[in-house]
Amino acid sequence: MNRIEKTFINNKKKVFIAYIVCGDPDIHTTVKIMNTLVDSGVDLIELGVPFTDPIADGPTIQKSIERSLKKNTSLNDVFDVCNKFRAKNKTTPLVLMGYLNPIENLGYKKFSKIAVQSGVDGVLVVDSPPEESSVLSTVLKEYKICNIYLASPTTSKSRLETIINTSNGYLYYVSLKGITGSKISDIKSIEQNINMIKKIKKNDLPVVVGFGIKDKKTAKEISKISDGVIIGSSFVKIIEENLHNKQRMVDNINKYAVKIKTSIVNK
């Protein structure tokens, strides 16, 4: 069993996932923030790989990526951060989330090989749906890296089946038609869609929900209807608001994560 599967099986509570952009404000602080997240109750970390043209991201994450790119954060730096994190933490799953071009540039094989060596457990490529991923997904499988896909309110049932059949680790359900940082409005329809996903045969994939979760109340409601919640923009916002005081940045991330953690329900 890999770290992602273990987390979903062994956890008492629903799974709490945090997303931050690697290299914002700098790679040293990213490692510190990752450790803080784990100490505050985060179960799985999605580490954003910066890319110049993040078409699925709203202004908060775009600006974070721009700050990171100003410091020339490369995939090698991302692996460096993963290594440093893994040196102390052997259990928390680490998922790289980003866009395809930097991975293509490095080469799928080389990317996968270094990712495994750096303790990466899963990869989510936002702009590479299953239709375009056959080569990448074969390589990831070869290296036993989980291949995580998105599903959204516009995903048809037949595509859902394809997505589920090619996913492993978990399914990332995008809560709304929109970009990161938007706000959830309709929890009822999210519940209906998750129920539909769960009914697809041979589906034992955990389904977690991301996009638009910002407060305790939403986190609680989403945790009731899914296997986990993902919070991204809210963490990134705390980073943005405390760029000149890294201690306060880390403290506020801790406080916010603890608050969300308490609202997430048991399994």
Task: Tell me if 158 contacts another protein by CB under 8 A.
Answer: no
Which of 102, 161, 166, 220 binds another protein (CB under 8 A)? It is 102
| Least distance (Å) between residue 52 CB and another protein | 4
Q: What angle do CA 202, 204, 205 make, to 5 degrees?
A: 120
Q: Which among 40-48, 82-90, 171-179, 237-245 is the span making contact with another protein, rule CB under 8 A?
A: 171-179
Ramachandran sector of residue 261 (left: φ over 0; alpha: ψ -120 to 50; beta: rest): alpha
Which of 179, 209, 225, 229 binds another protein (CB under 8 A)? It is 179
Which of 16, 19, 51, 79 binds another protein (CB under 8 A)? It is 51
Which of 17, 37, 82, 103 binds another protein (CB under 8 A)? It is 103
User: CA 36, CA 147: separation in Å to the nearest integer?
Assistant: 26
Which of 10, 105, 138, 192 binds another protein (CB under 8 A)? It is 105
Binding mask 109-128 for another protein (x = CB under 8 A): -----------------xxx
Which of 164, 174, 208, 229 binds another protein (CB under 8 A)? It is 174
| Least distance (Å) between residue 35 CB and another protein | 26
| Least distance (Å) between residue 177 CB and another protein | 6
Task: Tell me if 186 contacts another protein by CB under 8 A.
Answer: no
Task: Tell me if 58 contacts another protein by CB under 8 A.
Answer: yes
Binding mask 31-50 for another protein (x = CB under 8 A): -------------------x
Question: Which tokens belong to 45?
Answer: 């970390």
Binding mask 72-91 for another protein (x = CB under 8 A): x-xx----------------
Q: Which among 13-21, 172-180, 191-199, 225-233 is the span making contact with another protein, rule CB under 8 A?
A: 172-180
Task: Tell me if 154 contacts another protein by CB under 8 A.
Answer: yes
| Least distance (Å) between residue 206 CB and another protein | 17
First to last CA, the chain: 20
Instruction: Please state the three-class secondary structure of the chain as a single string.
Output: CCHHHHHHHHCCECEEEEEEECCCCCHHHHHHHHHHHHHCCCCEEEEECCCCCCCCCCHHHHHHHHHHHHCCCCHHHHHHHHHHHHHHCCCCCEEEEECHHHHHHHCHHHHHHHHHHCCCCEEEECCCCHHHCHHHHHHHHHCCCEECEEECCCCCHHHHHHHHHHCCCCEEEECCCCCCCCCCCCHHHHHHHHHHHHHCCCCCCCEEEECCCCCHHHHHHHHHHCCEEEECHHHHHHHHHCCCCHHHHHHHHHHHHHHHHHHCCEC
Task: Tell me if 200 contacts another protein by CB under 8 A.
Answer: no
Residues at the interface with another protein (CB under 8 A): 50-58, 62, 66, 69, 72, 74-75, 99-106, 126-129, 131-132, 149-156, 159, 163, 174, 177-179, 182
